[in-house]
Amino acid sequence: MGNFEVFDGDITSPKGYKASGLNIGLKKDKKDMALIVSDVLAKGAGVFTTNKACAAPILLCKKNITGAKIQAIIINSSNANACTGQKGYEDALAMAETTAGELGISSENVLVASTGVIGVPLPMETILNGIKKVVDSLSYEGGQAAAEAILTTDTCVKNIAVSVEIDGKQITIGGIAKGSGMIEPNMATMLAFVTTDANIEGAFLQKLLNNVVDKTYNMITVDGDTSTNDMVGVMANGMAENMIINEAHPEAEKFAKAFYYVNEYLAKLIVRDGEGATKFIEVEVMNAKSFADAKKVAKSILNSNLVKTAFFGEDANWGRIICSIGYSGADFDIDRIEVFLGKEGDMVKIIKDGRGTGFDEKYIDQILKERDLKIIVDLKNGNEGAKGWGCDLSYDYVKINVSYRS
């Protein structure tokens, strides 16, 4: 895979990371609390939801990440601790302080993440007792248990690791994520945690994360809803002992590509596991005037309920696609664009110069039975592009979300 190797790993694959995941009583029988800890103080970076109704743990994380030094991340599922007022913030702070106390570190070096139902106070006795249990269960092999404990309506764990050689040292990057519904990140309920043993400059890590998030997590959508609790948190503990990576490092780009791969992989897994999804849809927009225009077009197509339901019905309704492009707000000439629909290696031109091409309906109906599908939009208006990922809208999405609280 280019200059790096991909393997079935997670957040404990890099050197110096322990993790755990347990059922502490928030859910009936599934794991519901996770903890990720670095053996040493690590450089920290984070990107958080843009939702103004952001949850208490997000407010705390935004404060703690300003120090750019993180050693632990405590996560609970089942309860979002969102829209819970001052008491919610005090509870998030208590989670950080209890975690720090159990580990013998500073509470300012702890991130807190919560996911689940909005508007319900945390059962703090259960939470604080649970923190002690997950600390006692920490293990260098605990990444998979942590990956399970952060899930809500997800149907599968989401994890990945890559290794890359820099300065003759093997560097590992590992990640886990959760997310299935309420997914329209501007940072969805989407959580992602990435660890690396790379020695990297903190400011460079944050800049890299900002850029990667914009092209990965912010390019996925399941249902157009931006959650109160989205976050991506990264720790880099330097235990690989490479020369510090910054913009001047000759192999900075090699690290950046591996880091991008981990996050794109996790983002795409979230869409594949979209609530009730039967189709995985990639939209590639090319020859736009700007990345912003390309992004607008991709997200407009992916967020269109009419496009999504057409894919669920395996109906090549190209009018819905061009309609969603038209109201995207991007700058282009509708009479010049071309659109292709199909699967990797088998794309059919369905729109030319803004009009239908009279394509073979029976042929494309067969392609639409595939799970992985693709749309390519050529705006013929510049040289910028973007890719986005989404899914269809099925009966099951409605069934899942009419009874989420129960």
Cα 44 from Cα 66, distance rounded (Å) = 9
Q: Is the pLDDT of residue 382 over 60?
A: yes
- The backbone torsions φ and ψ at residue 49, rounded to the nearest 5 degrees and listed phi first, read -55, 150
For domain 280-402, give the fold. Answer: Ubiquitin-like (UB roll) (3.10.20)
Distances (CA, A) of 315 to 306, 320, 366: 11, 10, 10
Q: Read out DSSP for 131-166?
A: HHHHHHT-BTT-HHHHHHHT-SS-SS-EEEEEEEEE
Beta strand 158-166 with 355-356 is: unpaired
pLDDT higher than threshold 60 for residue 89: yes
Confidence of residue 185 (pLDDT cuts 50, 70, 90): very low
Report residue 68 CA to chain centroid gap: 21
pLDDT band at 110 (very low <50, low <70, confident <90, very high): very high
The residues assigned a catalytic role are: 189
| Local confidence band at 399 (pLDDT 50, 70, 90 cut-offs) | confident
Whole-model pTM?
Answer: 0.89
Q: What's the token pair of residue 221?
A: 């959508």
Predicted local distance difference test score (pLDDT) of residue 225? 52
Residues 314-327: tens digit of each pLDDT:
999 999 999 999 99
Least confident of 44-53, 118-127, 157-166, 330-339: 44-53
Q: What percentage of the chain exceeds 90 in pLDDT?
A: 79
Architecture of the domain made up of 4-272: 4-Layer Sandwich (3.60)
Write down the pLDDT at residue 183: 44
| Mean confidence (pLDDT) of the chain | 92
Q: Could you give the CA distance from residue 130 to residue 34 in angstroms, rounded to a whole number? A: 10
Give me the pLDDT at residue 154, please: 84
Q: Which two tokens stand for residue 75?
A: 């996560």
Q: In sequence order, what DSSP letters do the residues of 300-340 get, joined into one string? A: HHHH-HHHHHHHHTT---HHHHHHHHHTS-----TTT-EEE
Over the stretch 29-40, which tens digit does the pLDDT of each residue have? Answer: 999 999 999 999
How do the domains of the chain map onto residue ranges?
Answer: 4-272, 280-402
Average pLDDT over residues 119-127: 95
